[in-house]
Structure 1
């Protein structure tokens, strides 16, 4: 199975955020801070992180909220780990 592109990962993470945080897809700006700008609470962030880790088999940093604050950061990290 080929490595997913950054765009595919970004779309998938957007869908995860949409489902977990119950946000409309059109409100999920990949450059906005997930917690501070999109008001995603810490429990939802844990669920988003675990779902992404399970989906891609990649361990996200324990300080994901600090190190990877936006959807684009999360997608880029996962893409880099899979490359």
Structure 2
């Protein structure tokens, strides 16, 4: 069953907090992973792997570059869950 945007956002915030120590309330849909949240490519790959496990989706490496904002990731995960 697909999760709501809010559930996915909350889950991503938890993952990002665990990886980077950023407060969950800073993880908002309009935030850029690299510019606003200062997540480097290595941390981003860890976030992706953890998101794949948490949300039971597959995010191909060539799709990761298209996920520039938290909102992009939420939308991708929601669509991948079907």
TM-score by length of structure 2 reads 0.86
Aligned pair count reads: 81
- Runs (5+) with no aligned partner, structure 1: none
- For residues 74 and 12 of structure 1, what CA distance do their matches in structure 2 show? 11
- For residues 19 and 31 of structure 1, what CA distance do their matches in structure 2 show? 20
Q: CA deviation at 1:61?
A: 2.9
Q: CA deviation at 1:71?
A: 1.1
- Runs (5+) with no aligned partner, structure 2: none
User: Residue in 1 aligned with 2:58?
Assistant: 59
User: Residue in 1 aligned with 2:47?
Assistant: 48
User: Over aligned residues, Cα RMSD in angstroms?
Assistant: 1.4
TM-score by length of structure 1 reads 0.85
- For residues 76 and 68 of structure 1, what CA distance do their matches in structure 2 show? 9
Instruction: Verify the 8 A CA contact 2:9 2:28 in the aligned structure 1.
Output: no
In the alignment, does 2:32 pair up with 1:33? yes
Instruction: Verify the 8 A CA contact 1:31 1:72 in the aligned structure 2.
Output: yes
Instruction: Verify the 8 A CA contact 1:61 1:67 in the aligned structure 2.
Output: no
SS at match of 1:32: coil
